Amino acid sequence: MGNPLWAPWRMEYILGPKDRGDCIFCGIPDAEEEEQRSRLVVAKTPRAFVMMNRYPFAAGHLLVVPHTHTSALHELSLAEHDALFRLVREAATRLQRAVKAEGLNVGLNLGAVAGAGVAAHLHVHIVPRWAGDTNFMPVLADTRVIPQALEATRDHLAGFFQDLPSDDGSLGS
């Protein structure tokens, strides 16, 4: 692929929160179901959740977010860390199936200098890739300007997370 994936100019889309109260992720786990849907949450476990990126690199660009507000991986407890990456694994598999992706980019931007739009609350990006998609912007042009398209995509994706294992590996949400 020729284009850089984590383009710093995209930071203008998201204002970095100054504290937990401003954090776009922190209120989500406790929000009402309808609110979660409108904020494009796809799935939730006791310690982490999956949501769509409202400003995606590609249709189906997901964020996997720990409930805990922290900017550093080592500040997650081992249980939180484990739950986060279990959910990354599940999300990667399910997203690939849901959008028939031929590949995925999975990664973290830790710190604003690394390109994190919301540096204070770490999150894992999962971006679906298809052969010939090197120019991202046209791919997502429609979904970015039409909120209904985002919600429809969210509903489609959520269907692939119905039988998500909980943090302890057993079935159920």
SS3 state of residue 95: helix
The label of the residue with tokens 């970015």 reads: 144
The residue within the footprint of Zn ion, chosen from 23, 31, 73, 149 (CB under 5 A), is 23
Residue 107 β-bridge partners = 125
Residues 100-129 contacting Zn ion, CB under 5 A = 121
Active-site residue among 61, 67, 121, 123?
A: 123
Total residue count of the chain as it appears in this document: 173
CB of 20 to Zn ion, least distance (A): 6
**Which backbone phi and psi does 50 adopt, to 5 degrees?**
-115, 130
Q: Which stretch binds Zn ion (CB under 5 A): 24-32, 38-46, 77-85, 131-139?
A: 24-32
Give the pairing type, strands 124-129 and 48-52: unpaired
47 sits near Zn ion (criterion: CB under 5 A): no
Give how many residues touch Zn ion by CB under 5 A.
5
DSSP category for residue 60 = T
Tell me if 69 contacts Zn ion by CB under 5 A.
Answer: yes
Residue 116 annotated as binding?
yes
**Cβ closer to Zn ion: 94 or 121?**
121
Distance in angstroms (rounded) separating the CA atoms of residues 170 and 126: 24
What does each C-alpha distance from 141 to 32, 61, 133, 150 come to in angstroms?
29, 13, 13, 11
- Annotated active-site residue 121? The verdict is no
Taking CB under 5 A as the criterion, the residue among 26, 43, 88, 124 binding Zn ion is 26
Phi, psi for residue 162 in degrees, rounded to 5: -60, -40
54 binds Zn ion (CB under 5 A): no
Under rule CB under 5 A, residue 65 binds Zn ion:
no
Annotated binding-site ranges for substrate: 53, 115-118, 125
User: Which residues bind to Zn ion, rule: CB under 5 A?
Assistant: 23, 25-26, 69, 121
Annotated catalytic residues are: 123
